[in-house]
Amino acid sequence: MRTDFSNQEGSKIVDAIIAAIQTNKENLSEVDSHGGDGDHGINMNKGFTFARQELDELPCYAMSDGLKVISQVLVNKIGGSMGPLYGSFFRGLSVASRKEETITREVMLAMLKKAYQNLSDLTDAKVGDKSLIDVLVPAIETYEKAVDGGEAFNECLTQSLATAKMGLEATKKIPAKIGRASCIGDRSIGYQDAGATSCYLIIEAIVNTINELLGE
């Protein structure tokens, strides 16, 4: 089992993230129909498909470059709140890794923390508000704890993904406190949050792809 991978190899992570959103576009919109506009999948797929088209025009790209393209497309070509939010998230991932030729568990931690820092500059959402934060923050905290505990890169990722899944499931049990779904309050209980769902899909794509790279 490897302990790191190259930034160039990490382009597979970018590809996996885009594919995850494209594959789940209908599911994301269906989830969003319970309190939202029902267009989360449509908008996300639009942005990530634009990113795919731009990346396909490049002869090759490293992970950091691909993440930057996603960020720019989401900010410039997706309306609503999710474009800027996810745009800032992916920009954080890119900025924290752009000078790194090799991605270690420590570099990944820096990437995740920078992504959250960027995101938190745009939203006051916190864990328990029924949003993507319910998935992202616990996942990062679990990852950091595993790193500090000396766990292997793949184990840090696996633990983080498991926590992200629990965070996603938890959004079914709480009322929405932010966003359009907050208008229906307790009636949003029983349905998972759309943003939390897309965030989980992104984390899942990152984790599974890195674990594949580490296993090569």
How high is the pLDDT of residue 179? 60
Task: Please state the rounded mean pLDDT for residues 144-161.
Answer: 98
pLDDT at position 98, please?
97
Determine the 3-state secondary structure of 145 from DSSP.
helix
pLDDT at 178 over 70: no
Q: Each residue of 118-143: pLDDT tens digit?
A: 999 999 899 988 999 999 999 999 99
* CA-closest candidate to residue 135, choices 110, 171, 103: 171
- Of 169, 214, 216, the C-alpha closest to 190 is 169
Cα–Cα distances in angstroms (integers) from residue 106 to residues 133, 195, 209, in the given order: 22, 27, 17
CA distance 176 to 210: 32
Output the pLDDT for position 84: 93
What is the number of domains present in the chain? 1
Domain range for 25:
5-215
Judge contact between 157 and 210, C-beta under 8 A: yes
What is this structure's pTM?
0.94
Q: What is the mean pLDDT of residues 102-123?
A: 97
For residue 107, give the amino acid letter. V
Give me the CATH number covering residue 11: 1.25.40.340
3-state percent breakdown (helix, strand, coil) of the chain, nearest 5: 70, 0, 30
Arithmetic mean of pLDDT, 66-84: 90
Q: How many helices (H) and strands (E) does the chain have?
A: 9, 2
Instruction: Read off φ and ψ for residue 200, nearest 5 degrees.
Output: -65, -45
CB 201 within 8 A of CB 211: no
Top-confidence residue, 194 or 101: 101
Q: Are 216 and 154 in contact, with CB atoms under 8 Å apart? A: no
Angstrom distance (rounded) from CA 24 to CA 56: 21
Q: Looking at the DSSP assignment, which residues form a beta bridge with residue 103? A: 5
According to the model, what pLDDT value does residue 191 have?
Answer: 79
How far does CA 11 lie from the centroid of its chain?
A: 15
Question: What's the one-letter identity of residue 114?
Answer: K
